[in-house]
A and B are shown apart, each in its own frame.
Chain A
Amino acid sequence: MRNILITDFALRAYVAASVVGLTAPAIGTFLVQRRLSLIGDGVGHLAFAGVALGLLFNLAPLWGALIVALVGVIGLERLRTSGRLSGDLSMALVFYFGIALGAVVLSALNRFDASAIGILFGSVFTVSTSDLVTMVALCAVDLVAVGLIYKELLAVALDEETARASGLPVEALNVVTVAMTSLLVVAGMRAVGLLLISALLVVPVAAGSRIAHSFRGSMLMAMAVGVISALVGLLIALWQGHIAPGGGIVLTALGFFALSMAVGRRASRRHPRGVVA
């Protein structure tokens, strides 16, 4: 058992899941505050089409997913801000187009098989070193971006109208936010899968926000929950041997959320005035 836990594939999986578990809530905190919790799901749908198109044009699935997710979600954001379609309707149309296109292209290529399941639900134990480098690089770009423009993203998340009135480039910041989401979704494709990555954007944030009393505190708490969920979920998958690691990670995060529901209110009562969580 101990040998399995420290094999090369397990070590790569720990790193891959941890960086995704760390990065997803950092972006998810802004998305949840802006009531865009489900955008990760939609980007996943687009990335699925990207994987299929990548195979069609002999491009690595990861790069195909990245290109289509980025182009699709930025185009969607422009469509939304132009007012030509309502936000949720435009999202629904584009995202359904993505999943349908992916299914059609993959089946036409006769590739609608176990590898497609791996894309949808993750296959973190098959991550290669080059995959890992790409995932870490994508997550690093996201974390650096959040660090550099944290205060601007917070101002927009708090109140878009007041942020716009104060001269902040709200449209550009919105594009950066959805672009960061795309990078994260693609990075998380192998770790937890396109259908479950959205859960890591949202569930740790939901848990963190039950405990903390500030936005920054919620984000840091959520990032901690994300990393711990990733590692615990992986260890359970390795120990048990037959369960999908992506599902294990998300269920662990949901367990932390349930715990936060139980203790969050008590933590709130204990919280002294004058201290920021």
Chain B
Amino acid sequence: MTLELRDVHFAYGAEPILDGVNLSLSAGQFVVLAGPNGSGKSTILRICAGLLSPQAGRVQVLGGSPADPAVRRRIGYVPQGLRPPGTIPVSVQEVVGAGLVPARGLFRPLGRADWSRVRVALDSVGMSRLASECLFELSGGEQQRAMLARALVGDPELILLDEPTTGIDQRFRPVIAEELRARAAAGATVVVVTHDPEDFHHVVDRIVLLGEGPIRELGHDEFHAAGRSL
């Protein structure tokens, strides 16, 4: 199993968000987590990325604990929302290159081969033309695509994306969906949290619904029909 949650409980203060969640995902699966606001979708991603620890239950990611930095280096993660612009200009390729830093190791600068990978990652999200532009001067959708490229550049075995198509125009949404499908076909496990089922309904393997009683799986037709009501 790439990812396994067993009887996971999590609460922000007194408010329980996850109440005994069980979920198992294997390599090569493309999964959408759906559900209303506050159902715990983003919390699950953050627990799997090692950013939150559950109050109870067991979480295993890529055969280890998400608290282990060696495990986290094999994960590509895009959090929800855009980062606030910084004071210093940062080029798109610098942002994407940062995705290779953990794998490269301490004291070893990024080399020619790494920058080639950056170009490939940018190309995969239709951003190669903007490699040298300042990130914060781009549109929200372009910034989001750069963040996706940053998550994908290290060829992670587990890809965790929270609302990855937010702000991205309709022209590029199929490009993103197909790229993620290709990653899953190559063996990566892809987990996407989304409120836009139509972006992914044709490429996902499983749809998991949270927040309406126990966690359950939706069929493709049910998922597509639910649309934005999720």
Residues of chain A having any CB pair with chain B under 8 Å: 29, 32-33, 35, 148-152, 154-155, 157-159, 161-169, 205-206, 209, 212-218, 273-276
- Establish whether residues B88 and A167, one from each chain, have CB atoms under 8 Å apart when the complex forms: no
- Establish whether residues B94 and A154, one from each chain, have CB atoms under 8 Å apart when the complex forms: yes
- Ordered by A's residue number, 30 sampled pairs between the chains whose C-beta atoms are within 8 Å are A33-B87, A35-B87, A151-B109, A152-B106, A154-B94, A154-B101, A155-B98, A155-B101, A158-B98, A161-B51, A161-B79, A162-B77, A162-B98, A165-B49, A165-B50, A165-B77, A166-B75, A166-B99, A166-B102, A167-B69, A167-B72, A168-B102, A169-B69, A205-B87, A206-B87, A213-B89, A213-B133, A214-B90, A214-B132, A273-B132
Which chain A residues border B77 with CB–CB below 8 Å?
162, 165-166
Task: Report the count of interface residues on B (CB-CB < 8 A).
Answer: 39
- Given A167-B102, A169-B69, A214-B94, verify A149-B107 contact (CB < 8 Å): yes
Measured in the bound complex, the distance between the Cα atoms of B108 and A149 in whole Å is 8
Which chain B residues border A209 with CB–CB below 8 Å?
87-89
Which chain B residues border A152 with CB–CB below 8 Å?
101, 106
- DSSP class of A's interface residues: helix, strand, loop or mixed? helix
Which chain A residues border B51 with CB–CB below 8 Å?
161, 164-165
Residue of B nearest to A161 (CB): B79
* CB of B83 within 8 Å of the partner chain: yes
Question: Smallest Cβ distance from A213 to chain B, in angstroms?
Answer: 5
Which chain A residues border B101 with CB–CB below 8 Å?
151-152, 154-155, 163, 166, 168
Question: Smallest Cβ distance from B1 to chain A, in angstroms?
Answer: 20
Q: Which residues of chain B from 60 to 89 have any CB-CB distance to chain A below 8 Å in the complex?
A: 69-73, 75, 77-79, 83, 86-89
Residues of chain B having any CB pair with chain A under 8 Å: 49-51, 69-73, 75, 77-79, 83, 86-91, 93-95, 97-99, 101-102, 104, 106-107, 109-110, 129-134, 150
- Establish whether residues A275 and B132, one from each chain, have CB atoms under 8 Å apart when the complex forms: yes
- Establish whether residues A213 and B132, one from each chain, have CB atoms under 8 Å apart when the complex forms: yes
Which chain A residues border B110 with CB–CB below 8 Å?
151
Which chain B residues border A164 with CB–CB below 8 Å?
50-51
Residue of B nearest to A222 (CB): B88
- Establish whether residues B87 and A32, one from each chain, have CB atoms under 8 Å apart when the complex forms: yes
Interface centre among B71, B107, B110, B132 (most CB of A within 10 A): B132
Question: Smallest Cβ distance from B154 to chain A, in angstroms?
Answer: 8
- Given A159-B83, A167-B72, A274-B131, verify A214-B91 contact (CB < 8 Å): yes
Which chain B residues border A158 with CB–CB below 8 Å?
83, 86, 90, 94-95, 98
- Establish whether residues B89 and A212, one from each chain, have CB atoms under 8 Å apart when the complex forms: yes
- Establish whether residues A215 and B99, one from each chain, have CB atoms under 8 Å apart when the complex forms: no
Which chain B residues border A275 with CB–CB below 8 Å?
132
